[in-house]
Amino acid sequence: MEIEEAKQHFIQSWGTLGSNWGVNRTMAQIHALLLVSNEPISTEDMMEQLQISRGNANMNTRTLIEWGIVTKTHVPGERKEFFQTDKDIWALARQVVKQRRQREIEPMLRVLQEVKDVEGKDKETKEFKELIENIDSFTQKADDLMDKFIRSDEHWFYRQLLKMV
């Protein structure tokens, strides 16, 4: 396989992976394109290489920036904006975990809290409370793990893995 074909294949797969995780295909592809590019790339480049419209490129790039995984840069002599992403895959993973934690764990914990003080002493209510209690406990542990991951570095994570039986 030659390099251009490989990059293309990678971009496609990254897009598919993204859409499985609730990230839109184009957004994941833009990210993949940035990953495989040696230099920062412009909106024009994205449009050409992914065959997408200016609006689409702009919107999805903005979302990537909001997620904190893409940054704007400038190329000397060029007036337009260029974009780049951190090639450190651990940094990327940390950033994504951080986003999802904030965006999903926190709302979930809030709902569980709201629902927790349901009135009643009957069996049905007790069982419901127990379920909510279990989900809450699980969610908090997941939250704790994510928090540790976000604060960690690659080596820490690797050591933790080794420590596990």
Q: By the criterion CB under 7 A, which residues form the site for DNA?
A: 19, 24-27, 42-44, 51-56, 58-62, 78-81
- When the beta carbons of 27 and 34 are compared against DNA, the nearer one is 27
- When the beta carbons of 59 and 135 are compared against DNA, the nearer one is 59
Closest CA to 142 of 93, 95, 108: 108
- When the beta carbons of 58 and 139 are compared against a copy of itself, the nearer one is 139
Distance between CA atoms of residues 93 and 74, nearest Å = 25
Please give the residue ranges that form the binding site for a copy of itself (CB under 8 A). 1-3, 5-7, 9-10, 13, 17, 19-22, 35-36, 38, 87-90, 93, 103-104, 107-108, 111, 114-115, 117-120, 123-125, 127-128, 131-132, 134-135, 138, 141, 144-145, 148, 156-158, 160-161, 163-165
Distance between CA atoms of residues 6 and 115, nearest Å = 50
Q: How far is the CB of 42 from DNA (least distance, A)?
A: 6
| Cα angle for residues 145, 150, 151 (degrees, 5° grid) | 100
> Residue 71 phi/psi, 5° resolution?
-130, 155
Q: How far is the CB of 79 from a copy of itself (least distance, A)?
A: 26
Q: Check the CA dihedral 89-94-95-97 and report its sign.
A: positive
What tokens does 75 get? Answer: 């190329």
